[in-house]
Structure 1
């Protein structure tokens, strides 16, 4: 079998998409939970800055992991487009573009974190807080907030991407199990609702756990189910062509 025939096989793209989705989940969970959730303390700029200073390597690792996620997002958008275009080429292209727009927005948001360490380079760990130092810590929180806000905007586009992908899966006639498409549509609603709630509800923190469950449950089930199905059962994709 030639390299050209391997690359043209739907199984090849299924493996690329599945492996990409699985790796993204691993790197994103590391960056989000081990780094951002572990180091950033909401409404406490000094504690956040000191956590980052004391765990600089961890912070840098989280940033690199997010960059890897960006690269994988592009690969997954490409692979899913190839896999879903037999169902509806125009909608598959639309889904890919929404994911790429999300990736671009997330990349711009991520650049805010790139400026955090240079800003803290002159700060002293656990030093007596001066006015200038407090201002510097406040600037760090502004960068972190800008990253979070940009990510939230991007998640609206990502939610629409999942909506279109879920619809295509449902309409594929068993090309990919319809139940996965249903969970992806539920996940898309969760992402959009959570993002809008951040901007619309001044007391979002009071309902944070509820919104996290709305996002996490269908998102984890839908996206990981798609990843594992493409990796393990992706050979069935070949039956489409």
Structure 2
């Protein structure tokens, strides 16, 4: 027997009434989760500012990298916002489960499972930038006065950052085969460029280093010669007269030795 319009309306109303508690629960989860995420964001931002996180990132070159990327936010704010959206993804997953949305719940579950990879990639990239800045300062401190060393220091920093970028892409699992091939190509091109540059323009740098080493060696040799005693002085110790035994009369002085004409 076909259902009447009234029966269909009644079934629709019953489904809506059953769905309303789930919708209310999901909205409650979203509101509460948003409040918690905001609290976590503000607390993280305040804590990072208090411990001097921005100063560390500025010294490591991360702030400069963010400015080049076009963002005006400091590293503490960026990290706090990342934590906020991570918490919000978890909140949306809970809300989707409360509403019985299986597809949406599975999607956000996959996103949450991917978050550790994103965090690892960000950490690798930040450490790469910091390490690159450290390598640059180390090269400059070792031979900062030699011509061409600033360019070499910047090249070393860029090489470290490029390596960190490829490692971050590996953590993100983005086209791993393509990333591997690109990494090999970049390393090969960098090695070839470095060899050509050293062969064409490295002779002047090598000559400058050899000249500085030669000058230092000459100065040290001159200092050693200046500190040596006079060669004309008699190096033999003075002649000592043995003491007389007790009770012996004093000996007359020895007659002078006459020289022949």
Instruction: Tell me the TM-score range normalised by the shorter chain.
Output: 0.3 to 0.5
Larger Rg: 2
Structure with greater contact order relative to length (CA < 8 Å, sep ≥ 6): 1
TM-score computed with the length of structure 1 as normaliser: 0.36
TM-score computed with the length of structure 2 as normaliser: 0.34
Question: Which is helix-richer, 1 or 2?
Answer: 1
